[in-house]
Every structure is written in C-alpha cells, then in structure tokens.
Chain A
Amino acid sequence: MTQPEKDGLPWWASASTHRPPARGGASYDDARTAENKPATVKRVTSAPAGARGVTDSRRARRDRRAASWFIFPAAFVLTVVTLAPLAYSLFVSFTNWTLTVPGSDQQFIGLANYGRVLASPAFWKTVQVTMTFALSATGLELLLSVAFALMLNQQFVGRGLIRALVLIPLVITPAVVGMFWKLLYDDQQGVFNFFLVSSGLPRIHWLDQSWALTSVVLTDVWQWTPFLVLIVLAGLHSLDVEMLEAARIDGANRYQTFRYLTLPHLIPYLMVGVFFRLLDAMKDFDKIYLLTQGGPGSETSTFSIYAFDTGFRIFQIGRTSAIAWLIALVSFVVSLPLLWVMSRRISREMPS
C-alpha cells in the first residue's frame, strides 16, 4: 500500500494510537503499538521462569486442540451450508440441466456451459453494466462522502444529531429503498418529476432506456454515501491535530493543509472503504430488482440480476451455475487487494 507506515507500523495500527482509549483494553493495544513489538515479549516474561521448556510443547498441543474445538462448530456449519452447495453447483455447471427438459440433468457437457456463457453478448453486456454501475456509484460516493465528512468535521451546534441523521439511508432495508425510490422516479406521479416540471424543466423518464442505469446509480449513491462518510470521519478523527496546527503556523493555507496532510492520511481509509463498496455494489440485487428488474431490456442487468433471471425465469440450471461460478471468480479477483491487506493484518496480530 502506498501509505507511509509510521515507525514501520501499518496504518491501522497507528490509527488506533491516536484515538482516545474507549475501554480498558485499548490502552493495552496502544502500549503494544508503542513498543512496536509483538506481545510475545511480554508473554514470555509473564510465564513462570522455570517451567517453560518442558511444558511449552504440551501447552502448544493443548492450545491447538482447544482452538479446534472452539472453531469446529462454525466451520462445520459453513461447510455444510455454503461449501457443499457451491461444490454441487460446480458439478451442475458441467451438465445441460434445464428444469423444463426432463433428463437433462444427466447430460454431461463438460465446459460447454462456460463456453456458451463467455460467447454470449448478454453476458458481456452484464459485465459492462455491473462495472459501470459499481465504478460510477463508488466514484460519486467517494467525492460526496469526502465533502460531507469535511463539513461534518466542523464545530457546530447539534453536530451529534446531524451525524446520526446522515446515517439513515445507510440503515434502511435495501429492498425498501428500491421500493419507494420507484415511487419517486414514477413518470406521472413521481415527486422528482413534479419538482422538474414546477421549475420549468421537462420531465425525465427516470426508468426508461437512457436513464435507468443513471437512476440506479443515483439511488445507490443516496444509500451508500454515509458508509464512506463514516470511514472518512474515522480517518479525520485519527488525524494528528497538532500537526495541522504546526502546518498552519508555518503558513500553509487551507488547501495546502488538505492536499499535503489530510488527504494522504485519508487515502488508506478510503482504499478500504472503496473496496468494500465496489464488492458490495457488484453483488447488489435487492435495490435493482425492485427498481427495474434489470430492465428495460438489459440496461440495468447486473451480475446478480442476470444469474437470477437465467435461473428462475429461463430455468437453465446448468448455465446459471456456470454464470454463478464466473461471477464468484470475478468477485474473488476484485477482492484480492482487500484480502491481501487483511491477511497482512492477521499475520501481524496472530498470537504466536
């Protein structure tokens, strides 16, 4: 990651040191970060000096066994409920199974489903729609959220309440968001068109061919901007106020302070936020299904809508499974940077 790591610490560690400790445990965390050493040093000294060598391996074994017992139930459920169906769908993706054709589940056609999907223009249209949707929504949310967060970071009366109210769109049931934005977008009774008409502008056919994708993006921006606002606010809180003060005394103007101090500090936060947003936008189903059902035509048909339609409208089970696997693969590739960041974090924190 591009972020300069203070004292060789990854950013999320240094971020926590600037926060006031919320609970007793936080100060421990801070102490550990300040030492810039894994906790092992402390742990060894806290163990009884004499009994170390002999008991260590026995204790390690005991710990490992305990760990397996604690993890086993969750791992078991996840295997049964997610991995097993995924494996089954991999198997099905090699068949010609169509629910309306009896016996087709026995026809093995190898990789033909994958070939057909990759050769179909509809699939590539879906890729294009999904990427356009995810990237433009995330981009707009990013810009808007930085502006909102900087404005929320000012000192003013009633700030706590305003901050809570900004979060409302984020916490409404997504299906409900889709449902009532459809009312707002309505051609005839929609209140958006009422505002347009009363200010002398022409009506917009929000959910028609040329506007549908834009409208879906707008709804997503409305709903998810607060998520990035929260992230940027967390970043701003962890900013060193004295550093900003020093820059001001040295004659830096507001723009310079933002450009050279605040923004570089925010970037790692924004990266995490953007990746979460991209991945979630690529998965989005509820809102789009309720607003447009992927239509008109396939203008707003994202991965999820496309797979859903192939499965539950055309009943081509084999092909849907191939699509599902391709989608899963794309999501996995997009999530790699985030996985890498998190995996470094795990290694750093791992009790050894």
Chain B
Amino acid sequence: MRRARNFNGSIWKVVWLFIWIVILSIYLFPFAWMVMTGFRNPVDTYSWPPKFLFHPTLQGFHYLFAVKHFQGFLVNSVIVSVASTLLVILLGTPAAYASAVLPSGKKGFLLGLLIGRMMPAVALVVPVYLIASRWHLLDTYQVLVAINVAFNLPFAIWLTRSFFQDIPRELREAAILDGCSEFSVFHRIFVPLCAGGIAAAAVFTFIAAWNEFLFALTLTNTRAATAPVVALGFRTQFGIQWGAAGAAALLISAPVIVFAMIMQKYLLRGMTLGAVK
C-alpha cells in the first residue's frame, strides 16, 4: 500500500516535469526565436517557411560591430547605468537608513517617494527635454544619469529600507550609548549587515537604467545614445535588418537576464518595493 503511494508520488514528480517542459517550450518560444534570429544568416531570416534548423553564423554580430559600431553604444549604456547605480546607492542608502532606523516622522518623505514611483515617466519627458535643451545638456551622459537617478531613487530607498528594518534597532541604541556617532553606526554596523540588500538595490537600479528607453530616445542623439535606442535604428527602408537586430537584442538582454537570475531571490521584493518578501 505504502509502496504504491510512494511509487505514485515519484511518477507525478516526473509527470509534472514533463508537463512543464511542454509549457515552457511554448511559453519561451518567442525568446528562443529571438536568440535564433541573432545567429541566423540574414538571408535566412526572410525565408519562407521559416528555418527552424540552420547553420548558426556570427554574421549578425560581425555586422553589428564592424559596420554599425555597436560597441560604442554598449559602452554608453554601461557608463550611464554604472554612474546612475553608484549615485543611487550613495544617495539612497543613507536615506533608507534614516527612514528605517531613526525615530521621527518621515512618513511624508516615504509617501512622496511612493507617489514618485507611480508617476508615469512621460509626464516628465517634455519639461526635462525643454530644460535640457536650454542648458545645452541634450545628448550628454549627465542628463541621462540625472533622470535615471531620480527615477530609481524612490524604489531603491524603499527596498533598502526594508532590509534595514530586518536589523534590530537595539544595535543602534547600544552603539550610541557606547559613544558611536550616528554616521559610524550607519557605515560600520548597518551597511555591512545589509550588504546583500544594498547589492540587490544596486543590481535592480543597474537593470532599470540599462533598460531605460523613453528618455534615452528623446534626450540623446548620436553621442550619448544607449544600446536599446540604437537597436531601434536597424529599421531601414527595406524593413528591419533582423540579423543585426537579433544580435543586438541578445547583447542588450543577456546581461540583464544574468543579473536578474543572480538576484532572483530578491526579485519580487525589489519589484514590490519590499511590500512582498
């Protein structure tokens, strides 16, 4: 009897795996097709019926780097994302610490951040464009970094705050009684204890800045354009150059996927501002 049930249980363990393999091969097909497009011969992209099996080539990548100089735009993306991330962490971590650990009302500040997180980016795009053009900041890294910092600070503060809250506040009281300054409590005790959470906030900020499209599209032209905006330019009068577009899509999304998988544990917490852990 018991053996029969165990046997039944292990059968189901395999059956569910099989069901999921079927579901995933349908669900992830669009992604797989994108990856395949990146390695397909450009001529084959337009073949009918579409080729599912083909000889993979690196022509798309070659064209991307040799002809389109895509590496320069990837570097732009890296510069903007890294600078934004550093600033967000530098500005956000102390604010998160204060709002999680220090007594006194910061409710208004926190709610203000939340409203900022909910605001549609498009509400800012025109005034920022006007201001940037008046101050000759169009097509510079500075303006993109400023925007990315402003858009990611609210979420980063909320997320980091939720990690600081996991640490007993008595730790701070004890350290203060022992004569520690507020700043050393922050950077000697709380920051090291929350290193994981701060790293999560950094990774998610990097991803958001890397993925940012609307402001990069409107505020940059050729010098500071980031990779996603340039990939859009593979639309020509003859249609989209899919070999290059597929390769670009792969290069843009690969780092994001890798980072997100590393931080998978904190993904939900990050996306809900720490509301669901």
Contacts and interface: CB of A to CB of B under 8 A. Distances in A.
Interface of A: 12, 15-16, 19, 23, 25-26, 28-29, 39, 42-43, 46-48, 60, 62-64, 66-67, 70-71, 73-75, 77-78, 81-82, 85-86, 88-89, 92, 151-152, 154-158, 162, 164-176, 179-184, 188-189, 191, 194, 198, 222, 227, 230-231, 234, 269, 272-273, 276, 279, 282-283, 285-286, 289-290, 303-304, 307-308, 311-312, 317, 320-321, 324-325, 327-328, 331-332, 335, 338-339, 341-343, 345-347, 349-352
A164 B186 CA distance: 34
Contact of B131 (A29, A88, A180, A283): A88
Given A174-B213, A189-B48, A351-B169, 4 more contacts: A25-B167, A89-B124, A317-B126, A324-B120
Nearest to B162: A349
Interface string B206-233: 0100110110011000000000110110
Contacts, number: 328
A28 B240 contact: no
A194 B228 contact: no
B118 interface: yes
B58 interface: no
Contacts of A311: 125-126, 129
Interface residues of B, number: 112
A308 B182 contact: no
A82 B124 contact: yes
Contacts of A88: 127, 130-131
Contacts of B256: 171-173
Contact of A85 (B109, B124, B267): B124
Contacts of B99: 67, 71
Contact of A74 (B49, B91, B186, B252): B91
A85 B127 contact: yes
B37 A162 contact: no
Chain A to chain B: the 4 pairs with minimum beta-carbon distance, closest first: A25-B166, A156-B16, A70-B98, A171-B260
A236 to B, nearest CB: 12
B30 A181 contact: yes
Given A74-B92, A157-B13, A279 B150 contact: no
B272 A351 contact: no
A179 B112 CA distance: 34
26 contacts: A63-B103, A63-B104, A70-B97, A70-B102, A74-B157, A78-B153, A86-B123, A92-B126, A158-B20, A162-B24, A171-B267, A173-B210, A173-B256, A175-B232, A179-B249, A183-B242, A231-B276, A272-B272, A304-B120, A308-B214, A321-B127, A324-B123, A325-B123, A332-B118, A339-B114, A351-B101
Given A78-B153, A171-B207, A331 B119 contact: yes
A188 B48 contact: yes
A179 B231 contact: yes
Nearest to B94: A70
Contact of B231 (A176, A332, A341): A176
A152 B218 CA distance: 41
A219 to B, nearest CB: 9
A308 B122 contact: yes
Contact of A173 (B246, B253, B261): B253
Contacts of B179: none
Given A272-B276, A350-B105, A168 B149 contact: no
B49 A194 contact: yes
B170 A43 contact: yes
B13 A155 contact: yes
B165 interface: yes
B73 to A, nearest CB: 13
Nearest to B20: A162
B78 interface: no
B57 interface: no
Interface string B35-67: 001000000011011100000000000000000
A67 B126 contact: no
A162 B28 CA distance: 11
Interface in B135-180: 146-147, 149-150, 153-154, 157, 165-170, 173-174, 177
A5 to B, nearest CB: 16
B72 interface: no
B267 A230 contact: yes
B264 interface: yes
Contacts of A174: 211, 213
Contacts of B245: 179-180, 183
B253 A335 contact: no
A120 B242 CA distance: 39
Contact of A28 (B107, B121, B168, B252): B168
A312 B92 CA distance: 33
Contact of A16 (B112, B147, B242, B277): B277
A343 B110 CA distance: 8
B271 interface: yes
B12 interface: yes
B115 A156 contact: no
A189 B48 CA distance: 7
A231 B268 contact: yes
A194 B98 contact: no
Nearest to A31: B168
Contact of B261 (A62, A164, A191): A164
A157 B49 contact: no
A350 B95 contact: no
Contacts of A173: 210-211, 213, 228, 249, 252-253, 256
